[in-house]
Amino acid sequence: MRYQIKSVVNKLIIFSGISGISFYVGRKSVQSSIDNNCNVSPLKYFNKPGLPIYATVSAAVPVLRNEIIDKPAIIPTENRIATIMKYGFPGLDNIRSFDDYVLSYDRKTRTAHWVFEHLTSEHVKHNNEVDRAKCDFKPDESIHPFFRADNTDYKKSGYDRGHLAAAGNHKKSQNHVQQTFYLSNISPQVGVGFNRDSWNRLESYVRKLTKVYQNVYVCTGPLYLPRKETDGKLYVKYEVIGTNNVAVPTHFFKVVVCETKDGKLEMESYVMPNEKISDDTPLESFRVPPESVERAAGLLFFDKINRKMLNKVNGKKV
């Protein structure tokens, strides 16, 4: 067969049903709410065949409740996740909550569908106790090994390990910034001219919005856009790298909602090609209608906001 289907030499891994590790916080909250109110065991409602409750499936090594509770540093508070996701989930595939951002993982491409962040001036200001240089890129062991990217996938690929949730957006603790170095939050990005330059310019711009707006919500992710070839037909084409076939996105998006002190909302939406971009290209030239990104990504952004209620979209009155 000309196409690449990898055969597995390891022993078969035993799977163990729906474990819902990513949303243990949600589960815990729902269950304990029920526990507090009546005496029936809520567990029996959650294990029926035919009734999936969580947008994640089993990992080879399920994380047990006790293990989680032993590591309080990585338990995101329910409030923080609720704040980050205040305006809706763009999609619900394989949700993974970190302390200061939320991620939806695409097991087919070995990178995220999207990541969601909430920025304020507090989150992005300089903090002497946080040192990005101490961070290491790490495989995300909450992802099943079949679908997990590894550092070796990036080696000699020619691509940077580019952050989706930017490291510089999470300066409240060393743990927060370290969590942006999980490879689930990383995509292969062109280094010079993109990750280290124009994409970084866009990230800095979004951070600076916190000087003007009280709250900045930002959703970031990869795109795999079709392109017309000489036969007149449209094709999606992207490279995959390493033994895990990590997808190299053709483009990346950022959709931002800024909230003023008096609750007014403005939206900005950017798509940048994953290629060398001249430093003098203005960021405004990458603005696209948010619906275009939604159609291309298969996602719905900020769907709890009625778009007619937005004060501005891409700098223009709606």
Yes or no: say if 305 and 318 are a contact pair by the CB < 8 Å rule.
Answer: no
Query: Read out DSSP for 171-194?
Result: -S-HHHHHHTTBGGGEEEE-IIII
Q: Binding string to a copy of itself for residues 144 to 183, with x set by CB under 8 A, is what? A: x-xx------------------------------------
148: helix, coil or strand? coil
Among the listed residues 61, 127, 300, 314, the single contact to a copy of itself using CB under 8 A? 300
- The total of other beta-carbon atoms located within 10 Å of residue 17's CB is 10
Comparison of 91 and 196: residue with beta carbon closer to a copy of itself: 91
The verdict on 29 binding a copy of itself (CB under 8 A) reads yes
Residue 184 DSSP code = G
Compute the distance between CA of residue 33 and CA of residue 38 in angstroms, rounded to an integer: 9
Among the listed residues 61, 75, 91, 175, the single contact to a copy of itself using CB under 8 A? 91
The verdict on 289 binding a copy of itself (CB under 8 A) reads yes
The partner residues of 270 in beta bridges, in order of sequence, read: 254, 287
The verdict on 38 binding a copy of itself (CB under 8 A) reads yes
Q: Is 163 a catalytic residue?
A: yes
Candidates 129-137, 171-179, 229-237, 257-265 — which segment interacts with a copy of itself by CB under 8 A?
229-237
Q: Is 244 annotated as a binding residue?
A: no
Candidates 62-70, 181-189, 194-202, 297-305 — which segment interacts with a copy of itself by CB under 8 A?
297-305
Q: Are strands 265-273 and 312-313 parallel, antiparallel or unpaired?
A: parallel
154: helix, coil or strand? helix
Site for a copy of itself in 231-270 (CB under 8 A): 233-241, 245, 247, 250-251
Burial of residue 57, with CB atoms counted within 10 A of its CB: 0-12 exposed, 13-18 middle, 19 or more buried? middle
Compute the distance between CA of residue 130 and CA of residue 189 in angstroms, rounded to an integer: 25
Q: C-alpha distances in angstroms, 140 versus 105, 148, 202, 284, 288?
A: 11, 7, 26, 34, 32
Shortest CB 55 distance to a copy of itself, Å: 5
Residue tagged active-site, from 163, 170, 176, 251: 163
Site for a copy of itself in 40-59 (CB under 8 A): 40, 42, 44-46, 48-58
Shortest CB 135 distance to a copy of itself, Å: 26
Which residues carry a binding-site annotation?
A: 195
Tell me which residues are annotated as active site: 163
Which residues carry a binding-site annotation for Mg(2+)?
A: 195
